[in-house]
Amino acid sequence: MFGYNTITAVLFRFINSAILFGAGWYLYKKYAQEPLEEQVDEKLAFIAALKQQENALAAQENQLLTTAHKQKQECMALKQKVLDWHAFVEQKIKKRAEEKKNIVQMARKRTDQQNKYLFQETLLQEALPQALAKARTKLEKDFLDSKKNKQYMNTIITQLEKGK
């Protein structure tokens, strides 16, 4: 009489299943849904924070790459300036060496000219009195006889002494 396949049995099974499902749904809503939603929200917030951190790190990486590129360009420019400065200094050193060489040459020329002049002056100061003395003795010997000749000779000698 009691059959397992009767409509009442099926209906009670359906009602029991609905009650169990409803109780499960109620328990889920009351005790499990809120903590699970909080966990999902926390994980979504964590993912959003990670995304934000990823974006910040990507921006920082771009900034560091840009800074490194600028520093590399500045380093290259500074290196070029150093090379230019080095070439300029070398050119200055060569120019100063050439100027020093020219100054030494000019000083040598001037010294040579002064030495020649001093040699000539010394020669004149030493040789002229001797030449005059020799000329006087020779002229006195040649013009020994006459007074007029002595006057003429004195005139020539005085003029030679004066440098005329």
Asked, for residue 1, whether it belongs to a domain, the answer is no
pLDDT for position 1: 46
Asked, for residue 35, whether it belongs to a domain, the answer is yes
Count how many domains the chain has. Answer: 1
Residues 94 and 26: their CA atoms lie apart, in Å, by 99
Asked, for residue 3, whether it belongs to a domain, the answer is no
Task: Write out the residue range of the structural domain in which residue 15 sits.
Answer: 8-162
Asked, for residue 152, whether it belongs to a domain, the answer is yes
pLDDT for position 159: 81
Asked, for residue 2, whether it belongs to a domain, the answer is no
Could you count the other beta carbons within 10 Å of the beta carbon of residue 34?
A: 10
Asked, for residue 103, whether it belongs to a domain, the answer is yes
Asked, for residue 144, whether it belongs to a domain, the answer is yes
pLDDT for position 6: 84
Asked, for residue 76, whether it belongs to a domain, the answer is yes
Q: Tell me the pLDDT of the chain (164 aa) as tens digits.
A: 455 678 888 888 899 999 999 999 998 888 888 888 899 999 999 999 999 999 999 999 999 999 999 999 999 999 999 999 999 999 999 999 999 999 999 999 999 998 888 888 887 787 777 777 787 787 677 666 667 677 777 887 888 877 65
Please name which of 152, 127, 130, 129 lies closest in space to residue 139, comparing C-alpha atoms.
152
